[in-house]
Structure 1
Amino acid sequence: MPTKHHEKYKLLLDEGLSPKNRYKNLNNYFDVKHIKHDLKKGAISDNEVYKCTTNEKRILVTFNIKDFNNLVKLNKPSIIALSVNLTNDQADKKTFKLLKKLKYTESLGHIISISNSQTTIKRLI
């Protein structure tokens, strides 16, 4: 019986998130980079962060969705907005679970919100 294929998404953690080693599931399964700790691009503008996301074809993971809402484009990487109420462990597990089920088409042009109570995936029109 064939196994189900899962995408190995590339993620970019925004500056406000902890270093990638705090997200064990994500770090072990996906290609994770931190904007400050790995790319050495701390304190850059949100436009520059999203430009890095686009250039590297990485889904952005952030707490700060308000500033990125207007930057997401249809055929560009999606953004995962984490609730600030999530612990690192909760964020790791919930994001990992989401990404294991995420369709490739949802990795582009979507805003994905993850909180304690729900996960929503909103496609840009």
Structure 2
Amino acid sequence: MSAGNNGKSVAEEFREYAEILLDRDSEFDGDPSGDPPLLASDYRRALYAVLALAPQLERTRTGPVSDGEAEAYRLGGAAMIDRMHIAIGEAWAPRRLAAREHRRHIGRPGRPEITDEPDEGS
């Protein structure tokens, strides 16, 4: 993966950009003035893009690659994509969605995150 002007990879640049937008959108929840940085349709479009990911074997070396190496690389990519899909599924778990009235949004991982407050009967 190539590096941008500041030495970061393209993926790192996009991740940073997405985190900035998510932070701005979280801040908007606390002080909703003007247009929101992200709309529900923007979230859907991004999530559909992640859910559509499939492992692709990209040439990362110039020498020959054995079938076993290619398969190991493909399986590693598939495992990472599976982890992303599972993370989305867990974030949208029915128990979390059912507890909307007890949920408050605070921020993103690395900072306080969505908190599920248990019902008194839980």
Same fold (TM over 0.5): no
TM-score by length of 1: 0.26
TM-score by length of 2: 0.27
| Bigger radius of gyration among the two | 2
